[in-house]
Amino acid sequence: MSRYNQPLGGNEMPRFGGPATMMRLPAQATAEGLDACFVGIPLDIGTSNRSGARFGPRAIRAESCMIRPYNMATRAAPFDSLQVADIGDVAINTFNMAETIRIIEEVYDGVLGHGCTPLTLGGDHTLPLPILRAMKKVHGPVGLIHVDAHADVNEHMFGEPIAHGTPFRRALEEGLIEPARMVQIGLRGTGYAADDFDWVRSIGGRVVPAEECWHRSLTPLMEEVRAQMGAGPVYLTFDIDALDPAHAPGTGTPEIGGLTSIQGIEIIRGCRGLNLIGCDLVEVSPPYDTTGNTAITGANLLFEMLCVLPGVECRT
């Protein structure tokens, strides 16, 4: 019998039954003894438009029930080489953003203290800030692969320094990210000023607008990104609104002209070989996801992230 946790199979329990965990994995109270964990952050008090991302983790888990343990394209077999479990949701304070940020950082201090790599189910895009604060204590400043329709480097939102449109401005100011090892992919739409997407470029990062991704494979781009990231620690943050609303309509701030789900997979698979120390998938808003397709896509992208973590074996 395998010493590693396994997702509950569809021939053992119907897919619509069993535990309501990510991929129907065992639930665990902490990250102790785990190599990687799925953790939910049911947060949307940082949202500026359509709310509902607080229900994202639950919906992603529900739609993950169809995912089987082997990646047939890449031959990745994460459950043959990593101990993985679902450690539940962070108990945020839904009335107090400052307190919520503190709680998230504290929880991730614990996860990282166990030597565990977190895969986060969001929740709105405010949540990488406290995660990156916890990451710096262990890894120092990290490289960042940021997949999104929006730059999320606003100076403030309604005078507030912390919201889902500001996390990477704060993270860069706090030295949590190495600017030369930061890339933003999929940015598009309208802005408040002509240079809205230029701030990251001005401090040494790379910006790849959605228009540069149209009608092409992103596999060559990811070869360049891997070279940019080098051997240092890398955090991957993936806002589901990076994808076109045709592929992921259930999100708070959709923008037309986005990436395809195939390009999203190419980006994640292109991270294989990097020193990934954490990943997140954010901004799934189930009230706007009437078919469940956005949550299904989010669940599969999280599985793809698991498949490219260091230590995952591929079966030939």
pLDDT at 243: 98
pLDDT at 193: 87
> Which positions ≥6 away from 12 have C-beta within 8 Å?
none
Q: What is the spatial distance between Cα 185 and Cα 219, in angstroms, rounded to a whole number?
A: 13
Helix, strand or coil, per DSSP, at residue 187? strand
pLDDT at 2: 63
* Of residues 139, 129, 112, the one with CA closest to residue 41: 129
Q: Is 95 exposed, middle or buried (0-12, 13-18, 19+ CB in 10 A)?
A: exposed
Binding residues for Mn(2+): 125, 148, 150, 152, 239, 241
Q: How many helices and strands (H and E) does the chain possess?
A: 8, 8
| pLDDT of 213 strictly over 90 | yes
Q: Is 81 exposed, middle or buried (0-12, 13-18, 19+ CB in 10 A)?
A: middle
The tens digit of pLDDT for each residue in 126-159 reads 999 999 999 999 999 999 999 999 999 988 999 9
What interhelical angle do 128-139 and 97-113 show, nearest 10?
Answer: 40
The alpha carbon of residue 58 and the mean position of all alpha carbons in its chain are separated, in whole angstroms, by: 15
Is residue 1 very low, low, confident or very high in pLDDT (cuts 50, 70, 90)? very low
Rg (CA), the chain: 18
Q: What is the spatial distance between Cα 248 and Cα 286, in angstroms, rounded to a whole number?
A: 11
Q: What is the spatial distance between Cα 45 and Cα 47, in angstroms, rounded to a whole number?
A: 5
pLDDT at 163: 87
CA angle at residue 87 from 252 to 139, to 5 degrees? 80
The tens digit of pLDDT for each residue in 305-316 reads 999 999 999 998
pLDDT cut 90: percent of the chain above it? 93
Residue 298: cis peptide before it, omega within 30 degrees of 0: no
The two three-digit tokens of residue 287, written as one number? 């009230």
Q: What are the domain boundaries of the chain?
A: 22-308
Binding residues: 125, 148, 150, 152, 239, 241
pLDDT at 316: 80
The tens digit of pLDDT for each residue in 6-24 reads 999 999 999 999 999 999 9
Location of structure tokens 């029930």: 65
Q: For the chain, give the mean pLDDT.
A: 96
Detail the DSSP E strand segments found in 188-232.
Answer: 206-209
The answer to whether the beta carbons of residues 225 and 186 sit under 8 Å apart is no
pLDDT at 219: 98
| pLDDT of 105 strictly over 90 | yes
For domain 22-308, give its CATH number from 3.20.20.80, 3.40.800.10, 3.40.1190.20, 3.30.230.10. Answer: 3.40.800.10
For the whole prediction, is pTM greater than 0.75?
A: yes
Detail the DSSP E strand segments found in the chain.
Answer: 36-41, 84-89, 117-122, 142-147, 177-187, 206-209, 233-239, 275-282
Least confident range from 90-94, 195-199, 226-230: namely 195-199
| pLDDT of 302 strictly over 60 | yes
